[in-house]
């Protein structure tokens, strides 16, 4: 499991908790879909969920893209806080 997948799991669990407390959440967008040019770092940092080969422009899904696809399909779980412990949920309620 990569740090990015752990981040996504944690973030989505927090979104779920916020919704349980009344937050009006209508969607979620991952930043960023593909590796791209950043004003401060140029092409040196790659934080998209798809790797881009800048020579051929071929796009390859990273582990985070594969995990997110499985999550959206309901095949992956996240931890959400419940009481003093945690519970596994298949997916968020949106």
Structural domain total, the chain: 1
Nearest-CA neighbor of 64 among 81, 80, 76? 76
Which pLDDT tens digit goes with each residue over 21-71?
999 999 888 878 888 888 888 888 888 899 999 999 999 999 999 999 998
Q: Give exposure, 75-87, as e/b (b: 16+ Cβ within 10 Å).
A: ebebebeeeeeee
Indicate whether 30 belongs to any domain: yes
**Which pLDDT belongs to residue 79?**
61
CB 47 within 8 A of CB 69: no
What integer pLDDT is reported at residue 1 of this predicted model? 76
Q: What's the pTM?
A: 0.72
User: Is 23 a domain residue?
Assistant: yes
The pLDDT, as a whole number, for residue 41 is 86
pLDDT at 61: 96
29 lies in some domain: yes
What domain range includes position 40? Answer: 3-89
Flag whether 81 is in a domain: yes
With respect to residue 94, please indicate whether it lies within any of the assigned structural domains: no
pLDDT of res. 57 = 93
């Amino acid at each position: 499991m990569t740090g990015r997948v752990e981040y996504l799991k944690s973030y989505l669990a927090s979104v779920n908790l916020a919704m349980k407390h009344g937050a009006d959440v209508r969607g979620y967008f991952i930043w960023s879909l593909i590796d791209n040019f950043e004003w401060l770092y140029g092409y040196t940092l790659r934080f998209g969920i798809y790797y881009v080969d800048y020579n051929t422009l071929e796009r390859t899904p990273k582990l985070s893209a594969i995990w997110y696809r499985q999550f959206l399909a309901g095949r992956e779980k996240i931890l959400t806080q419940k009481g003093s412990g945690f519970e596994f949920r298949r997916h968020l309620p949106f």
